[in-house]
Chain A
Amino acid sequence: MSGRKIARVVVSILFVALLATPLVIKRLAARLEPSRAKLDAQTALARYGFYLEEVAKSSGVEFVHQAPTLDQNLEHIMPQVASMGAAVSIVDFDRDGWSDIYVTNSGEGSKNRLYRNAADGSFKDVAPEMGVADVNQAGTGVSMGSVWGDYDNDGYEDLFLYKWGRPELFHNDAGLGFTRVTEKARLPSWVNANTAIWFDYDLDGRLDLFLGGYYSEDVDLWHLKTTRMMPESFEYARNGGRKYLFRNLGEGAFEEVSAGVGIDTRRWALAAVAADLRGTGRPDLFIANDYGISELYFNDGKRFREVGRQTGVGFAPKSGMNAAVGDILNHGRYSIYVSNISEESVLIQGNNLWVPKEGTAGDSLRYDNLAREMDVEMGGWSFGAQFGDLNNDGTLDLYLVNGYISADQSQNYWYDFSKIAGGNSTIIADAALWPAMEGRSLSGFQQKRVWLNDGLGKFINVAQAIGANDVYDGRAIAMVDLWNRGVLDVVVANQKGPLLIYKNTAKPENHWIEFELEGTVSNRSAIGAEVRLFWNGRQQVQNVSGGSGFCSQNQRRLHFGLGKNPQLERAEIRWPSGNVQVIDNPSAGQSHRIKEPA
């Protein structure tokens, strides 16, 4: 055999081997994945340090979200347009020391729920008597989400409700009821919003409010003037809703200042989160946008600077649907998790985990997307996600919900979706040109992700094993210690699905500590305050958030898992006012109520 023939044979064998490579990689990856079978509680506890049990019904919570019915010109793609609105936020509205749950509904005339925690394992809906139930009346739009913050510093958390419609502000009357104060606050008459957060951007001790539009605010989704209201591009759209920054003037009045402080964008915002990313003491603002790039605004005190491209988070356009921050590496810095879309063989955007690049800080801060390296990249059609230490081992885990439209399981809409998504703006922007969905699913029935942080730079998905087995179309997720047991429970709001409450049981050997902060010089909700905890030679930073994830807000109380035999050194609290408070040797196993020193 000639040399060339031998070479041809060798190359042919190699060629076949290369063709087989993807299959080999797939098989190896499958072997490395943990079992998808649900483990019994004791095995899950022993193996992963916790397990979840869904207890909504047994706790008296029987809520099923309703979607809106929009203009009949959208009938053919209604499930897609009316695909959001299931949201959840956590608040202790009556200051009884037990976290309550507020849930939005989105059907016209449907009622939102405020589940008061009865402290005995049950909840009772008190929204009607509190005056925050009947908020989806025809002509006023429907709820998309809510955030709580004590805007008037009276000690009680007030409710801001954002809608596709008229946003509403409700003043909390000492936990006895709510008074609608929308007009006094000078809020706009109509915003198609899907995100809002409370934060004190100017550090004046009063909570300000960011509100992000999705559809343009001149669109009434129930009475369309035109069907050209869809995004003009799947990845470069700039025809979304405007953004609002309401500066709190005191006395219940707000002034809209967004353009004046440098926030002037019409991208399709779906999530926002504020945190002091540079250590300046001022909260920076991150916005995850659908149909485009994310935006990061550095807060320079009086103005914001958009630095998405410069920092690396705002270059590759995706479908941002979540923004949550967490110190996942226990190095005292926040990483940012953004969820996107991944559908096998069609669209693989991958989620983003933006981790501060080594050696960069301050204005030169840069981020690397380490989602793939840390195994938190593929989450299907991802929506809400939150960080929290579910097994109290001292590292932040990540819970992600997903699934877009679960309808006819045997047919999917992906082909038509990809067809139109690839079209020029003249085509994609016109809802009339979108092919009819005809009952088909679009990335429905997806398995959730509960990624356990191994503390060594990797996450492992244990969702099925520990009991997170639902396949509803998840939207919002909130973490909260519902029964003051020192563990984070999980509340999930599903689009056109039930509200789920996953009760957590964590390994008792792992310890914990919680901090409940109250501002005095700073805003009373202490939103923006940071606790930096040092123990066993480790540190972790967390901040009190005025909203994070997708259409959700965790409990304000900060929960730290500590692992076994913790030796707590100190907790450094940095208040938004700039005050720094140090608590030496705080005790584990309890929640510390701390008031800001005057």
Chain B
Amino acid sequence: MSQSTGDPALIQPLEITERRKIRFDNRYAAPLFITCILVIGHLAYGILESYERTALAIGSAIVAELVLGRIFYGKWINLASAYITGISVGILIRSPAFWPYALCSVISIMSKYVLRVKNRHLWNPSNFGICVLLFLAPETVAALTIQWGNFIWPLLVIWILGSIIIWRARRFHICATYVISFLALAFVRSWITGDAWLAEIAPVTGPMYQLFIFFMITDPKTTVRSKVGQSIVAFLVALAEMFLRLNHVVYAPLYALFIVGPAAMLIEIWMDSRRAAPAS
């Protein structure tokens, strides 16, 4: 769910011109938003496994980013991205053990530095780390699948706040495409499985989806560049998720992004290199 920074040495605001007009640095909107989600969610509903585990996840991500940034780029990296990665892991991973929190954060951050093609990394960091842990340590790790209490208002607040932030970052179309696709494909699933449509859309009312929608699929550095392309990828994530869901995969959205995201990136990189080839 983390918003990765791509080349960590070159952290760029989402819209530089926008940023110049206002005092508030857009880079910090996402960290602030996710911090709000964490604090409110925990104080109101105790969504965290524990403070210690979340702190461990955040600390591990930050330390990994600092060390790797220093090694690879010889400078201290802005820590907004690492913070989001850490806090994402802290919220989304559920494990009674401590080590998965540290390991997941470190793997997530390292993936940005190691799994690169043409100087671009392919996976959203925390999506990668969480999926790896779910694959490799299923007996110890699960992901957050619960809901925000019994009330509708926390849901609305998060949707509204998240939408505003994403709108300002000019990535609302990604969220909208995904959500519309999800709701439409839920009809298809409902028709195939015979389960109620409301049952099919039930997961989208939970916090995992909200974090997934606002932070993971909109990650600037692990989505393709064109607006149309971004919308197509969002639809494909929803489509892949549908097939995974039809095969009863519990963490379908995470795995769908894990598969579709890098594939889209590789296609774009390949197309870029083809376009660049005649010019050179």
Could you tell me which A residues sit within 8 Å of B by CB distance?
4, 7-8, 11-12, 14-15, 18-19, 21-23, 25-26, 232-238, 293, 315-317, 343-350, 371-372, 377-378, 414-416, 418-428, 430, 432-436
Tell me if A422 and B206 are in contact (CB < 8 A).
Answer: yes
> In the bound complex, how far is the Cα of B205 from the Cα of A12, in angstroms?
38
Tell me if A233 and B150 are in contact (CB < 8 A).
Answer: yes
Taking a contact as CB atoms closer than 8 A, the residue among A26, A232, A418, A435 that contacts B150 in the complex is A232
Chain A, residue nearest B70 (CB): A7
Tell me if B150 and A236 are in contact (CB < 8 A).
Answer: yes
Tell me if B107 and A19 are in contact (CB < 8 A).
Answer: yes
Taking a contact as CB atoms closer than 8 A, the residue among B100, B107, B113, B139 that contacts A344 in the complex is B139
Tell me if A423 and B199 are in contact (CB < 8 A).
Answer: yes
> In the bound complex, how far is the Cα of B250 from the Cα of A414, in angstroms?
8
Contacts of B148 on A, CB cut-off 8 Å?
A: 424
B32 at the interface (CB under 8 A from A): no
Chain A, residue nearest B68 (CB): A11
Contacts of A233 on B, CB cut-off 8 Å?
A: 147, 149-150
Tell me if B205 and A424 are in contact (CB < 8 A).
Answer: yes
For this complex, 27 residue pairs linking A to B, each with C-beta atoms less than 8 Å apart, are A8-B113, A11-B68, A18-B106, A22-B103, A25-B99, A236-B149, A316-B46, A316-B49, A317-B46, A343-B142, A346-B145, A347-B142, A372-B96, A378-B139, A415-B245, A419-B200, A419-B202, A419-B203, A421-B145, A422-B146, A422-B202, A423-B205, A424-B205, A425-B151, A427-B199, A427-B205, A435-B196
Tell me if A15 and B150 are in contact (CB < 8 A).
Answer: no
Given contacts A422-B206, A423-B206, are A25 and B137 in contact (CB under 8 A)? yes
Chain A, residue nearest B249 (CB): A415
B192 at the interface (CB under 8 A from A): no
Contacts of B147 on A, CB cut-off 8 Å?
A: 233-236, 421-425, 428
- Stretch of B128-136, B223-231, B259-267, B268-276 that contacts chain A: B128-136
B179 at the interface (CB under 8 A from A): no
As a 0/1 sequence over residues 118 to 134 of chain B, the CB contacts with chain A under 8 angstroms (1 = contact) are 00000000000000111
Tell me if B146 and A235 are in contact (CB < 8 A).
Answer: yes
> In the bound complex, how far is the Cα of B147 from the Cα of A350, in angstroms?
19
What's the least CB distance linking B144 to chain A, in Å?
Answer: 9
> In the bound complex, how far is the Cα of B206 from the Cα of A420, in angstroms?
10
Tell me if B202 and A427 are in contact (CB < 8 A).
Answer: yes
> In the bound complex, how far is the Cα of B94 from the Cα of A343, in angstroms?
12
> In the bound complex, how far is the Cα of B137 from the Cα of A245, in angstroms?
45
B140 at the interface (CB under 8 A from A): yes
Given contacts A349-B96, A424-B155, 8 further A-B contacts (CB under 8 A): A11-B110, A12-B114, A317-B46, A344-B138, A348-B96, A378-B96, A415-B248, A423-B205
Chain A, residue nearest B248 (CB): A415
B278 at the interface (CB under 8 A from A): no
Tell me if B140 and A22 are in contact (CB < 8 A).
Answer: yes
> In the bound complex, how far is the Cα of B245 from the Cα of A174, in angstroms?
61
Could you tell me which B residues sit within 8 Å of A by CB distance?
45-46, 49-50, 68, 71-72, 94-97, 99-100, 103, 106-107, 110-111, 113-114, 132-134, 136-142, 145-152, 155, 193-196, 198-203, 205-206, 208, 245, 248-250
Chain A, residue nearest B71 (CB): A7
Tell me if A234 and B46 are in contact (CB < 8 A).
Answer: no
Tell me if A234 and B146 are in contact (CB < 8 A).
Answer: yes
Tell me if B68 and A433 are in contact (CB < 8 A).
Answer: no
Contacts of B206 on A, CB cut-off 8 Å?
A: 422-424
Contacts of A418 on B, CB cut-off 8 Å?
A: 145, 250
Given contacts A14-B110, A238-B150, A346-B142, are A435 and B193 in contact (CB under 8 A)? yes
Taking a contact as CB atoms closer than 8 A, the residue among B103, B146, B150 that contacts A425 in the complex is B150
What's the least CB distance linking B93 to chain A, in Å?
Answer: 10
What's the least CB distance linking A581 to chain B, in Å?
Answer: 42
Tell me if A348 and B94 are in contact (CB < 8 A).
Answer: yes
What's the least CB distance linking A348 to chain B, in Å?
Answer: 4
Taking a contact as CB atoms closer than 8 A, the residue among A11, A348, A421 that contacts B146 in the complex is A421
Taking a contact as CB atoms closer than 8 A, the residue among A18, A344, A415, A423 that contacts B202 in the complex is A423
Tell me if A422 and B208 are in contact (CB < 8 A).
Answer: yes
Tell me if B145 and A347 are in contact (CB < 8 A).
Answer: yes
> In the bound complex, how far is the Cα of B195 from the Cα of A433, in angstroms?
8
Contacts of B208 on A, CB cut-off 8 Å?
A: 422
> In the bound complex, how far is the Cα of B148 from the Cα of A131, in angstroms?
49
> In the bound complex, how far is the Cα of B100 from the Cα of A514, in angstroms?
45
> In the bound complex, how far is the Cα of B145 from the Cα of A233, in angstroms?
12
> In the bound complex, how far is the Cα of B199 from the Cα of A80, in angstroms?
17
> In the bound complex, how far is the Cα of B142 from the Cα of A11, in angstroms?
27
Taking a contact as CB atoms closer than 8 A, the residue among B45, B99, B136, B198 that contacts A19 in the complex is B136
Tell me if B134 and A345 are in contact (CB < 8 A).
Answer: yes
Contacts of A343 on B, CB cut-off 8 Å?
A: 142
> In the bound complex, how far is the Cα of B6 from the Cα of A396, in angstroms?
55
> In the bound complex, how far is the Cα of B152 from the Cα of A134, in angstroms?
46
Chain A, residue nearest B244 (CB): A415
Chain B, residue nearest A350 (CB): B96
Chain B, residue nearest A315 (CB): B46
Contacts of A22 on B, CB cut-off 8 Å?
A: 100, 103, 133, 136-137, 140
Contacts of A436 on B, CB cut-off 8 Å?
A: 194-195
Contacts of B107 on A, CB cut-off 8 Å?
A: 15, 18-19
Contacts of A416 on B, CB cut-off 8 Å?
A: 195, 199, 248
Most B Cβ at <10 Å: residue of A18, A346, A348, A435: A348
What's the least CB distance linking A267 to chain B, in Å?
Answer: 12
Chain B, residue nearest A21 (CB): B103
Contacts of B100 on A, CB cut-off 8 Å?
A: 22
Taking a contact as CB atoms closer than 8 A, the residue among B72, B96, B137 that contacts A8 in the complex is B72
Chain B, residue nearest A440 (CB): B248
What's the least CB distance linking A3 to chain B, in Å?
Answer: 9
Contacts of B200 on A, CB cut-off 8 Å?
A: 419
Contacts of A12 on B, CB cut-off 8 Å?
A: 114
Q: Which 5 A-B pairs have the closest CB atoms?
A: A423-B202, A345-B138, A415-B248, A22-B137, A350-B96
Contacts of B193 on A, CB cut-off 8 Å?
A: 435
> In the bound complex, how far is the Cα of B69 from the Cα of A12, in angstroms?
14
Most A Cβ at <10 Å: residue of B106, B136, B208: B136
Given contacts A19-B107, A350-B96, A423-B203, are A4 and B250 in contact (CB under 8 A)? no
Contacts of A432 on B, CB cut-off 8 Å?
A: 196
> In the bound complex, how far is the Cα of B195 from the Cα of A533, in angstroms?
58
Chain B, residue nearest A14 (CB): B110
Most A Cβ at <10 Å: residue of B46, B107, B133, B208: B46
Contacts of B95 on A, CB cut-off 8 Å?
A: 348
> In the bound complex, how far is the Cα of B94 from the Cα of A564, in angstroms?
43
